[in-house]
Amino acid sequence: MRHRGAQMKQIIMIMVLSLLLIAACTQAPQEPVEQDWEDYNIQDHGFSPEKDIETEEFDSEAELKAFVINYQSGDDGYYGGVGMIREMAFDAVAEAMPMAGVAKTVSNSLDFSETNVQVQGIDEGDILKTDGNYIYTITENTLFIIKAYPGDDAEVVSQIEFESRPSGLFVQGDYLAVFGNEYDKSIWGDWDWRPSYGMTSLDIYDISDRDDPELEKSLKFEGQYFQSRMMDGTMYIVVRSGLQVRPMPMPIIMEGDVTRHVPIGDIHYYDMPYRNPQWMTVHVLDLESSPDIESTTVAVEGGQQLYMSAKNMYITSTEYINEWELRQDITMELLENELTDSDRSLIRKIERTDPEILTRGEKKSKIYQVYSSYMQYMDSEEQDDLEDAVEKKLKVRMSEYESREYTVIHKLEIGRDRVTIGASGKIPGTIINQFSLDEYDDVLRVAVTLNPWRTWWAETVDFAEEAIGSEKMMIAPPQRTETENRIYTLDEDLDVLDSLDEIAEGERIFAARFIGEKLYLVTFRQTDPFFVIDLSNPRKIEELGELKIPGFSRYLHPYDEDHIIGIGRDATDTGRQQGIKVSLFDVSDVSDPEEVASWVADEKYSQTSAEWEHKAFLFSKEKNLLVIPAYNYEYRSSGESYNGAMVFHIDEDDIDMRGIIDHSDGEQRYGAQVERSLYIEDLLYTKSPYLLRINELDDLGSVEKVELKPGKSGPYPIY
């Protein structure tokens, strides 16, 4: 374990002593002991771009409880008080449940597509999968297993009903994993508290007989399902939960009727300021062979993205610099010497208040009210002097930050049976999605946007020394008023190796795709600059070429080593967004990329979910096939309305829209009906919530329709 920060250690020790005193008091009648919650309740260590982020561990349950009491959020779903929670006896870990014997393997000799994922070899949980013979898909609370090939004989062979709607699934050989959020209150009905963010369920089935799946293992994890990955048969199920004050605040795991919790030794936090921390827990389980599950929990800030390579999992969050809070801190610093003894005593009482009565934010607000009351007794000249001093100090404080937003990155190292804590780092700016990160030769590459930010001060201030009392302080230069984009490379310790700055000022990143030693980047404001960035030397990032065209791409996908597909929107010369646009970029000459082909929808309100959801994108270079969901509803003009899957012929010279597989008779009125598509041999399968359509690939002729009727459709029969 790395060295603890002295300040955090002192905080934790205060809590340990307090909790030990409480425990001692329960053993024999004594006078009540007043808990001292001073400092650690309202102390805001302050985000520092220069300070390293260290990993910390909890040495005891008392330390963990102290951390939870300190940081529990008032809006994390917790309504009880620690005095209202009775002690619970948690059962021992369940004995390992044996898996089935030798499984019969489904033939995979057929040519079929798999889920479109970011990293080759790392599957991502999704609502539709196939093994070439069968399709497994989710609609509402029902999972359907469909005999899919040959298409003429396609039919639902079995279905499984769940209490809550599953979020995704994995298939490996003759095993099926289904997971999602669980809201069945009966599973914790005997507890006098409720799990934060509900529970995530994971059910594993033996599907060697597809007509009759058998439940092999049923698990529930405290928290809300976040994301999942699978590599070489090992699943990584990631859930997030809130911090709760209770006898055992560790995240809970239920296996059948047996309840346990993540061991304290597997729970970690970071030496950094938290505003709204959450537990992020990675549960690791081999789908086919291992009945055991290993779990690792870290405390991270809310608002995360997740990227996983073959070696590491990266969890990111955004740290915001709050100018108003800094101004409050500076005001209190400048008024510190004005406080009377009685007000100092009042502030100490507020600091000592149990955080379940007053949260950290409420305490800080009340304390600031005490300080600000002194301004009421100042004459106008004194108030002006104070305001000037606050502004000057604030300008200096704000000049320490390159951005109002920082991306904080935590690395978890991937093992066969668990993840372990790696390095942490931070860079200015924000990312758009998981495709903003990529690991290559142990170097993490990140594409960020630095949003414009302006203070409430005058727009231009000379950079000069000014006297504030006896101090000499630097006045900050003008703040950023235009968007900027940057590329960073980070080493294994997440220290910055290099950065490429000032990319497409005034625009923001809309799409990023790292492929080998290059990055393909799309920014947008009025036109679509398509950039090629050289990352072959991570210590010297270089821009190789740029292309400006109307519109933009939100998703980029490799066609081959010399061509990139872009899915996005057309746009007018003034930057007003139009309908769907599919582009093909030739990047064989990196200094002069070209858009060699494009297709633009005539309907200016048309849209595709493939812009946002990469798993809705289907592509095969060998079959010259591109399929995306498409939707258009013309309610003001005589244009064409449609809802289905657009099928394109695509090669290195041309993009041609062949037709639309119609799903317009579905129950969804607005937005794209089609959720996913895949192919098996010479057949195309497109899935909307209640219909699986099968069409020939060569002429798009209809082969079969398979209705997907969930088992629970409401109080009235539906025909």
Q: What share of the chain is helix, strand, coil (3-state, %, to 5)?
A: 15, 40, 45
pTM of the model: 0.84
| End-to-end C-alpha distance for the chain, whole angstroms | 62
Cα dihedral across residues 494, 499, 502, 507: positive or negative: negative
Burial of 169 (0-12, 13-18, 19+ CB in 10 A): buried
Please give the average per-residue pLDDT across 652-663, as a whole number: 96
Please give the average per-residue pLDDT across 625-648, as a whole number: 86
Measured CA distances, 567 to 67, 671, 685 (Å): 45, 17, 21
CATH of domain 405-707: 2.130.10
Please give the average per-residue pLDDT across 516-526, as a whole number: 88
Token code pair at residue 445: 């590459």
Express each pLDDT in 335-344 by its tens digit.
999 999 999 9
Express each pLDDT in 242-255 by its tens digit.
998 888 889 999 98
> Domain limits of the chain?
1-102+162-302, 405-707
Question: How much is the pLDDT for 119?
Answer: 97
Question: How much is the pLDDT for 272?
Answer: 87
Measured CA distances, 109 to 101, 234, 297, 682 (Å): 23, 23, 40, 14
Residue 710 CB-half CA count within 13 A: 19
Q: Please spell the DSSP secondary structure of 59-88, one letter per residue.
A: SSHHHHHHHHHHH--TTSS----GGGPPP-
Question: How much is the pLDDT for 51?
Answer: 84
Burial of 99 (0-12, 13-18, 19+ CB in 10 A): middle
CA atoms of 99 and 32, how far apart (whole Å): 54
Express each pLDDT in 168-209 by its tens digit.
999 999 999 999 998 777 766 666 677 878 899 999 999 999
